[in-house]
């Protein structure tokens, strides 16, 4: 009897100790930071992740010690199925309560601002979004060149080149490519509609004289965007190209703009034999290349589509050019240009500013 009593007392004591320890641990667990990680730790919670999967992610990142205990804690609080997908940055050490509250609240505060400058092309925009951790470059380019996706947005052509408006966007890390693209296209439409309302007469004139539709306006604006960084010059440069297309005396209707060659050699789906020898410099072989469908030295009129993504000023310049009679322009090598009415004037300017006085 005495031995049985001793066993009972020892067992009871152990039970009380274990229960007490478990109770003490459970009571203090939410506010005890026991993970090994230190500093800003980034984790990505996938869509539909449950408490078990999230606990394993946290343990792998060193934010918690025992995944099973965290899972039980989340269940005890009734939050096991309420984790929000997203990319999180958690400052370690962090308590289980802090971590759980953050993952349930969501990553809405983790929006990242990314600025897209005027004149960037699809690949350059993809690089910017990838570097910001918003959308992977490969996914972005695949979606932006999906003809069915482009058609679904009601846009011409087979890519979204030209319709991704340059601006500052706040997007969540891990944003699907389609969602990011829709945001940029929506902004383009908003700005284009504002300009259309303000310059309806200019658009109607382009439609009547050159049969321009929205796609051709955007294409010419993309060329204007690449030709100058001077806002005050854009309406005049737009007028030069419009004059070349419109004046009966100017033939053939060659825009002769270098950025179109560059685009055809770097971004076009099908590259010409001459473009296979591209090293970043335009040479005679590129100027004379008829296989490059974007080459405006060998193909009359506009290229097949935009060569960059124009901003508001470039779009406005095409809708409201300055009405000047110029047909030529050449760089002064200081960011500005000299404009000429005749080929003679233009060649003289080329000699002065591009050839250092050496005759053509």
pLDDT in tens, 128-154: 999 999 999 999 999 999 999 999 999
End-of-domain residue from the set 76, 110, 144: 110
Q: Is the peptide bond before 252 cis (omega within 30 degrees of 0)?
A: yes
The single residue listed with the structure tokens 């955007």 is 218
Q: Is the pLDDT of residue 295 over 60?
A: yes
Given 60, 94, 110, the domain boundary residue is 110
Whether 236 maps to a domain, the answer reads yes
Would residue 69 count as lying in a domain? Answer: yes
Q: Is pLDDT of 5 > 90? A: no
The answer to whether position 74 is within a domain reads yes
Is omega for the bond preceding 210 within 30 degrees of 0, making it cis?
no
Asked if residue 131 belongs to a domain, the reply is no
Kindly report, residue by residue over 314-343, the tens digit of the pLDDT.
999 999 999 999 999 999 988 899 999 999
Q: How distant is the alpha carbon of residue 165 from its chain centre? A: 9
> What burial class does residue 87 get, using C-beta atoms within 10 Å of its C-beta: 0-12 exposed, 13-18 middle, 19+ buried?
middle
280 within domain boundaries: yes
Q: What is the CATH number of the domain that holds 52?
A: 3.30.1490.480
- The whole-number pLDDT of residue 17 equals 44
CA 27 centroid distance within chain: 47
Mean pLDDT score, 69-80: 85
Return the structure tokens found at 52: 């078990």
Q: How many domains does the chain have?
A: 2
Q: 272 or 47, which is more confident?
A: 272
Residue 68 located in a structural domain: yes
pLDDT for 82 equals 81
d(CA 313, CA 226): 12
Give domain status of residue 130, yes or no. no
Which one has a higher pLDDT value, 77 or 293? 293
Q: 57: domain range?
A: 30-110
Kindly state whether residue 264 falls inside one of the protein's structural domains: yes
Whether residue 221 contacts residue 202, with contact meaning beta carbons closer than 8 Å, is answered with: no
Last residue within a domain, chosen from 67, 93, 110? 110
The pLDDT score that the predictor gives to residue 311 is: 97
């Amino acid at each position: 009897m005495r031995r049985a009593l001793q066993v009972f007392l020892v067992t009871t004591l152990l039970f009380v100790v274990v229960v007490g320890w478990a109770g003490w641990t459970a009571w203090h667990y939410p506010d005890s930071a026991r993970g090994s990680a230190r500093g800003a730790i980034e984790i990505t919670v996938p869509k539909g992740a449950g408490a078990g999967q999230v606990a394993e992610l946290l343990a792998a990142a060193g934010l918690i010690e025992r995944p099973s205990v965290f899972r039980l804690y989340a269940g005890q609080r009734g939050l096991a199925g309420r984790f929000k997908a997203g990319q999180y940055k958690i400052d370690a050490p962090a308590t289980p309560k802090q971590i759980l509250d953050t993952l349930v609240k969501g990553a809405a505060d983790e929006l990242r601002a990314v600025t897209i400058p005027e004149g960037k092309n699809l690949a350059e925009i993809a690089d910017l979004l990838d570097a910001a951790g918003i959308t992977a470059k490969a996914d972005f380019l695949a979606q932006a060149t999906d003809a069915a996706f482009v058609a679904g947005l009601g846009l011409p052509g087979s890519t979204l080149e030209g319709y991704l408006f340059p601006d500052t966007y706040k997007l969540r890390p891990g944003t699907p490519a389609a969602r990011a693209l829709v945001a940029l296209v929506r902004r383009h439409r908003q700005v284009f509609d504002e300009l259309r309302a303000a310059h309806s007469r200019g658009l109607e004139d382009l439609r009547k004289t050159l049969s321009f539709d929205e796609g051709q306006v955007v294409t010419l604006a993309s060329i204007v965007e690449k030709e100058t960084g001077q806002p005050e010059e854009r309406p005049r440069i737009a007028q030069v190209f419009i004059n070349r297309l419109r004046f009966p005396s100017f033939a053939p209707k060659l825009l002769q703009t270098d950025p179109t060659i560059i685009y055809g050699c770097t971004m076009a789906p099908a590259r010409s034999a001459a473009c296979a020898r591209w090293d970043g410099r335009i040479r005679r072989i590129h100027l004379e290349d008829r296989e490059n469908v974007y080459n405006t030295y060998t193909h009359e009129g506009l290229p097949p589509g935009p060569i960059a993504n124009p901003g508001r000023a470039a779009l406005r310049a095409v809708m409201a050019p300055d009405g000047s009679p110029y047909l030529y322009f050449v760089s002064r090598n200081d960011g500005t240009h000299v404009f000429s009415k005749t080929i003679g004037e233009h060649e003289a300017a080329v000699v002065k500013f591009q050839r250092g006085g050496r005759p053509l």
